[in-house]
Amino acid sequence: MKKLSARRRHPLAAVVVLLFALAVTGGLYAAFAPADTAKADDTAQSLAIEEGKKLYSVGCASCHGTGGQGTSDGPSLVGVGAAAVDFQVATGRMPLQQQGAQAPRKKAIYTQAEIDQLAAYIASLGAGPSVPTKNQYSPDGADIAKGGELFRTNCAQCHNFTGKGGALSNGKYAPSLEGVDPKHIYEAMQTGPQNMPSFPDTTMSEKNKKDIIAYLDTVNSDKTKSPGGLELGGLGPVSEGLFAWIFGLGALIAVAIWVAAHTAKAKKS
Amino acid sequence: MSSQDIPEETLPSTQGHAHEGAVATAGDPFADPGLPPHEPRMQDIDERAAKRSERVVAFLFMLSMLATVGFIAAYVTLPVDKNIYVFPIGHISALNFSLGLTLGVALFCIGAGAVHWARTLMSDVEVADDRHPIEAAPEVKAKVLADFKLGAEESGFGRRKLIRNTMFGALALVPLSGVMLLRDLGPLPGTKLRKTAWSEGKMLINQNTLQPLRPEDIAVGSLTFAMPEGMKEEDHDFQQEIAKAALMIVRLQPENIKDKQELDWSVDGIVAFSKICTHVGCPISLYEQQTHHVLCPCHQSTFDLADGGRVIFGPAGHALPQLRIKVNDKGYLEAMGDFAEPVGPAYWERG
Amino acid sequence: MSNNDNRRKAPAGERVADWADGRLGIYSLAKTNMRKIFPDHWSFMLGEVCLYSFVIIILTGVYLTLFFHPSMNEVVYHGSYVPMQGMRMSEAFKSTVDISFDVRGGLLIRQIHHWAALIFVAAMLVHMMRVFFTGAFRKPREVNWLFGFLLLVLGMFTGFTGYSLPDDLLSGTGVRFMEGAILSIPIIGTYISMFLFGGEFPGSDFVPRFFSIHVLLLPGVMLGLLVAHLILVFYHKHTQFPGPGRTNKNVVGMPLLPVYMAKAGGFFFLVFGVIAAIAAIATINPIWAMGPYRPDQVSTGAQPDWYMGFSEGLIRVMPGWEINFAGHTLVLGVFIPLMIFPLVLAAIAVYPFIESWVTGDKREHHLLDRPRNAPTRTAFGVAWLTWYLVLLVGGGNDLWATHFHLSINAITWFVRIAFFVGPVIAFVATRRICMGLQRRDKEKVLHGRESGIIKRLPHGEFVEVHEPLSQQQLHTLTAHEQPLPLELEPEVDENGVARKISATQKLRVKLSKGFYGEGTHIPKATAEEYQEITSGHGHH
């Protein structure tokens, strides 16, 4: 400690303190930043609408109304279909944690069995898109190139070239599609959750959707190839520019400092 | 060093005895003490240290040679399409990674060796070199001015005004030929920017399925992109035409449409707007189905599709043009004419 | 090494040199230059980073031209990248994909080329910042400052044309933006656009045209400027920081041969090595992920390369003003940013001339200023950088929004306000910080360095021991000049005759007061103050 205090006026002391303060602030932020507090419910079994209705009246009715007719806090669910329920609840967007610009993706609160019950109940309120079958959304045998073209025409404007997400107005955003289950991508296209427009089968065929899913599976999954090296978020020139400044020019300046520095003298004066 | 003109007083030897923190020289305590005496490095006094440095430099040069051999080996052995997983970078091209790293090491080691050599083994005695004023001495200046005057007089440039003026005239005109030659870079604008491929009776073709659209295909809250009937990707002018004709179609509840003309030009709440932003021409299409706003991904101009495509935020200067549509007798959507105003960015003649 | 040949005394190297000297006069050239002195400081090597990355760009660029087809003819892709099979694209795009996937090492060279370009422009900006903040642009180096400035601007446009060549969806969107910006020019906008694109956008001409601009016209001009820039650096001799033995009349450092030959030559390889390693590790502009350009497709996050980011910011935050009159449209929402863009750049170009006019200083300056000792200049520089950064934030507003969970509209409004307020705050704050640092320097000179060692005096008082500075440090901290502001000449001359003082003269004096007048500096320690304190207090 004495050694430390004797050096507190060292010319480099301010730098050390600054670095320390930055580290502490960052650490505190990481420790206290709002973490996802989702707890899995482990009840649930049996099936059918009755069970779903019970779940609904506990978890959903306060915002969407007792009969799914909607209130000022949540839209009507009549006719949204099972696909919408499966998408919203299985991706953790519903139930909503707090009102905001839009519902973020979270860990799902309900089990898949409960979600199926909820979906069955909502589907009974009015006809809507049903949950797609594996055959519908599996990328096998689809045309990846066609999917790429469709993706750039219909999706990339919000979700970026390879589905890394992007900004919308007033704090809303198109989420990243990384790690999203193909089933949920299919459901999202079909039902148009929140501010996303829908792409129903009448204007975007089942085959089209399959192609898009196959394209995403190629360019945005954990086995995606990035031949050139680090993807840098796949965000385009902004992250490339930051990388060039910090690691490119930063490394070169570090090298320049070494080149220009005086070589250590034999005895310290 | 003998070729240098080193001013005597800054030579280290004459300053060699000035100790640091010595009592201030008489008068000015902040006087320039001159170059500090040269202090030897370890390599200057210890031959073993110098030998160590030499070995490090040689090692770096050797490493560079090895890396070049590695580069050639990688080039010859690795197939161009081989991918490998490298933590934490990801699935990357084996060839790009190995060629880049070996080339990087080969180059870096040459540089590092040279610099280490310079830093540890070459003399690090600082020397001073004199500067000389850049301005010419007065005599030189006078001589140059006199020469110039003489030359100018001999040419008669100032006296023979006719020659001077016609020469300026000729020199000024000759570049015009160059400007003329640029004329054929492109056609004159004419009314090209006013017209698109849309015209009366052309059906709206869904760009996903390439089928004509029917009103019942388009659900409230959905988003569809369309092009005019008869346009094909293979056409040689497809790029130019789609750059103006691209269309986005959404369906609103008719009671949500605030603008009267928009309602008149729609079919059961189905409205067709130009996909080309009126700011600088990006394909605008970030449609938020709950707010009916559409946002441009390039510069965030925001338009309200429920209110005649009015600008509600951002740098765009005027509303998105709407295409007037109807249902034809076969039940398909078709255009009732071209856009009423030019699509895309504004320009001087737009009016 | 021809010792075996006894009739010739001179070694082979010398004979070659003699031959060359008889024709080129190399000995006289070498006499002044071979042992030319260069001062050592890391910030003096930033210019070398620019030079070397430029050389790397030229080398890799030549390689790329061997494989790139600057043509917009449509072809159908059947290459080795599966997610693009059967797609229609321009030959330019296809050949770029082929360079990336089918030419061995092609991807590496493409990435080195692009990374080096980003680093080139970044290094130019940092190099200019170094020159600016140390006052190295002062006489006699103003012309070289202009050369450097032109290199920066040309570098930006060479970068932009290169970014446009692959004809991918991102670059095409950038070119579309350029077309929209050109259309906004009053009267001649549509004509320029038609001439540039050979008809309507996108047409089939812009890639070959941009290609010759990118590989021939602009690099040619830049090469000429670069040579002139380097000749002037040699001719003026390098500037140096003040210090013991370093005066305005000398340059202290190490000789070109051998030390700088090795250091500067070695640095080229270091720069090339670092950039090659970056190209091995990180991908840049993965055009295969973006797809070929189609004017009706787009992706979010459509930005130009970073050096055009500030113009992107200008265009994004500008309100959409448009004036219609007499059948014409004045597109102010696009045209004003298009006009501010050169003004932002010109502001840095003309600064040396403004400063020398305001200060009336006509002397040569070879000793650098520490930024704190020129508070007004430093404050101007920081204000400009703040302006630039605010616009960069504006240019990436969508990514700020998604990555910091903010509203894009709020960021846009922030940038609109900060565009005007930011530089002013930065100016005031920087000047105050500079004065604080000057005050600290003065205290250090007068009282020595605070050592952090607390001593208890016999009567119980605690004092901190101050270590006196060395003569070298004392000199370094007091070597700077503190110019006085210009004074207006008296309105009546010595003969009692009224004299007319021009308005420009008055303005000049006013500005000079702003630069150097009261409240712009802390008077540096004088010898008297120092002697009084050192003799009075003894040792603490």
Q: Of the candidates A159, A174, A253, which has its C-beta nearest C42's C-beta?
A: A253
> What backbone phi and psi angles, to 5 degrees, belong to C525?
-60, 140
> Quick check: C251 and B286 CB within 8 A?
no
pLDDT tens-digit readout, A10-59: 767 778 888 888 888 777 666 655 444 333 333 333 456 888 888 898 88
Structure confidence at residue C4 (pLDDT) = 52
Which of A166, A197, A226 comes nearest B90 by C-beta?
A226
User: Distance, in angstroms, between A142 CA and closest chain C CA?
Assistant: 11
Query: Number of folded domains in chain B?
Result: 2
Q: Closest by alpha carbon to A241, among B13, C117, B231, C469?
A: C117
| Average pLDDT, integer, range C297-308 | 93
Question: What is the DSSP-derived secondary structure letter of residue B251?
Answer: E
B13 vs B284 pLDDT, higher one = B284
Segment B175-200 mean pLDDT: 94
Report how far residue A245's alpha carbon sits from residue A238's, in angstroms, rounded to the nearest whole number: 11
- Residue B92: domain span: 42-120
pLDDT, position C360: 86
For residue C395, pLDDT beyond 90: yes
Tokens standing for B37? 């005496």
> What mean pLDDT comes out for the span C426-437?
96
**Among residues B5, B27, B346, which one has the least CA distance to residue C189?**
B346
Write out the DSSP string of C53-113.
Answer: HHHHHHHHHHHHHTT------EEE--SS-GGGTT-EEEHHHHHHHHHHHTSTTHHHHHHHH
For residues B82 and B218, membership in a common domain is answered with: no
- Whether B90 has its CB under 8 Å from any CB of chain A: the answer is yes
Domain ranges of chain C: 1-33, 48-243+251-303, 440-537
Among A6, A10, A169, the residue with its CB nearest the CB of C408 is A169
Q: Which sign, positive or negative, has the C-alpha torsion A136, A138, A142, A147? A: positive
State whether residue A157 is helix, strand or coil.
helix
Q: In sequence order, which residues have a C-beta less than 8 Å from that of residue C376 and are 6 or more positions away? A: C431, C514, C515, C516, C520
Say if residue B77 is in the same domain as residue B208: no
Least confident stretch, A41-45, A236-240, C87-91, C255-259: A41-45
The CA distance from C236 to C229, in Å, is 11
Residue that is written with structure tokens 């079958």 in the block: A133
Indicate whether B96 pLDDT > 80: yes
**A155 labelled as ligand-binding?**
yes
Q: What is the pLDDT of residue A38?
A: 37
Query: In the complex, which subunits touch B with 3 or more CB pairs below 8 angstroms?
Result: A, C
Give the least confident one: B245-254, C185-194, C513-522. Answer: C513-522
Position C157, amino acid = F
Residues C323-337: what's their mean pLDDT? Answer: 93
Q: Does the pLDDT at position B262 exceed 90?
A: yes
Instruction: Test A269 with B96 for CB contact under 8 angstroms.
Output: no
| Interchain proximity C200–B240, CB inside 8 Å | yes
Residues paired with residue B40 on neighbouring β-strands, in sequence order: none
By C-alpha distance, which of B234, B318, B328 is closest to B276? B318
Give CA–CA dist A155/A153, Å, rounded.
Answer: 6
Give the model's confidence band at C493: pLDDT under 50 very low, under 70 low, under 90 confident, else very high.
confident
> Under an 8 A CB cutoff, do C300 and A157 touch?
yes
Interface test with A, best of B205, B282, B288, B291 (most A CBs within 10 A): B288
Q: Is residue B212 part of a domain?
A: yes
Which amino acid, residue B332? Y
C483 confidence band (pLDDT: 50, 70, 90): confident
Within this chain, do residues B244 and B104 fall inside the same structural domain, yes or no? no
**What residue of A is the nearest CA neighbor of C174?**
A237
Please name the residues in contact with A154: beta carbons below 8 A apart, sequence gap of 6 or more: A199, A204, A212, B208, B223, B225
8 Å CB contact of A265 and B90? no
Cβ within 8 Å, pair A10-C452: yes
Of the candidates A167, A229, A255, the beta carbon closest to that of C274 is on: A255
Instruction: Please give the share of chain A, as a percent, with pLDDT higher than 70.
Output: 87
What pLDDT is attached to residue A96?
Answer: 85
Interchain proximity C83–A218, CB inside 8 Å:
yes
Residue B175 Cα distances to B170, B179, B186, C218, angstroms: 9, 7, 20, 21
Do B107 and B206 reside in the same domain of the chain?
Answer: no
* Nearest CB partner across the interface for C304, out of A147, A237, A260: A237
**Is C478 within 8 Å of B30 when comparing Cβ atoms?**
yes
User: In a 10 Å sphere around its CB, with 0-12 CB exposed, 13-18 middle and 19+ buried, how is residue B148 labelled?
Assistant: exposed
Mean pLDDT of B44-72: 96
A63 is in an annotated binding site: yes
Mutate to test the interface with B, among C200, C332, C445 (most CBs of B within 10 A): C200
CATH (domain of B288): 2.102.10.10
Q: Choose one of B85, B120, B155: the last residue of a domain.
A: B120
Asked whether residue B179 is assigned to any structural domain, the reply reads no
Q: Is the pLDDT of residue C413 over 80?
A: yes
What pLDDT does B17 receive? 41
Quick check: is B290 in a domain? yes
Overall average pLDDT of the C166-179 stretch: 95
Q: Does residue C1 carry a pLDDT above 50?
A: no
- Asked if A161's CB is within 8 angstroms of C291's CB, the reply is yes
Contact between residue C388 and residue C341 where contact means Cβ atoms under 8 Å apart? no
Q: What's the CATH fold of domain C48-243+251-303? A: Cytochrome Bc1 Complex; Chain C (1.20.810)
Compute the mean pLDDT over every residue in chain C, rounded to the nearest whole number.
Answer: 92
For chain B, say whether A43 makes contact (Cβ under 8 Å): no
User: B116 and B201: one domain?
Assistant: no
Q: Flag whether pLDDT at B195 surpasses 50.
A: yes
DSSP string, C256-322: IIIIIHHHHHHHHHHHHHHHHHHHHHB----HHHH-B--TT---SS----GGGHHHHHHHHHS----
**What is the predicted ipTM?**
0.92
pLDDT at B9: 41
User: Is C494's pLDDT higher than 80?
Assistant: no
| Among the listed residues C481, C479, C366, the one whose alpha carbon sits nearest the alpha carbon of residue C37 | C366
Residues recorded for chain C:
540
More confident residue, C291 or C519: C291
User: Is B322 found in the same domain as B203?
Assistant: yes
Name which of C56, C170, C183, C336 to mutate to probe chain B: the one with the most chain B Cβ atoms within 10 A of its Cβ: C183
Give the residue ranges of chain A where pLDDT is below 70: 1-9, 11, 28-48, 267-269
- Locate C243 and state its tokens: 């210090």
Query: Does pLDDT of B26 surpass 60?
Result: no
* C173 has pLDDT over 60: yes
Check whether A158 is labelled as a binding-site residue.
Answer: yes
Give me the domains of chain A, ranges plus CATH numbers.
39-130 (1.10.760.10), 132-223 (1.10.760.10)
**Is the pLDDT reported for residue B24 higher than 50?**
no
Name residue C21's amino acid.
D
pLDDT in tens, C260-286: 999 999 999 999 999 999 999 999 999
Residue B124, chain A, CB below 8 Å: the answer is: yes
B295 neighbors B288 (Cβ within 8 angstroms): yes
Answer yes or no: is B6 within a domain: no
Provide the whole-model pTM.
Answer: 0.91
Q: Which of B42, B46, B89 sits opposite A229 (nearest CB)?
A: B89
Answer whether A266 sits within 8 Å of B42, measured CB to CB.
Answer: yes
Give B267-322 pLDDT, tens digit per residue.
Answer: 999 999 999 999 999 998 899 999 999 999 999 999 999 999 999 999 999 999 99
Domain boundary among B99, B120, B141: B120
Asked if C173 and C298 touch (Cβ cutoff 8 Å), the reply is yes
pLDDT recorded at residue A5:
65
Amino acid in the structure at residue A73: D
- Supply the pLDDT for residue A34: 45
The CA–CA distances, whole Å, from A231 to B273, C49, C289 equal 36, 25, 11
Q: What is the pLDDT of residue A18?
A: 83
Q: State residue C5's pLDDT score.
A: 52
Q: What confidence score (pLDDT) does residue A67 get?
A: 83
Which of B100, B120, B140 is a domain's end point?
Answer: B120
Q: Chain A residue closest to B42 (CA)?
A: A266
Residue B286 lies in a domain: yes
Please compute the mean of the pLDDT values over residues C484-512 and round it to a whole number.
82
Short-list C190, C122, C197, CA closest to C155: C122
The CA distance from C25 to C31, in Å, is 10
pLDDT tens for residues B147-156? 999 999 999 8
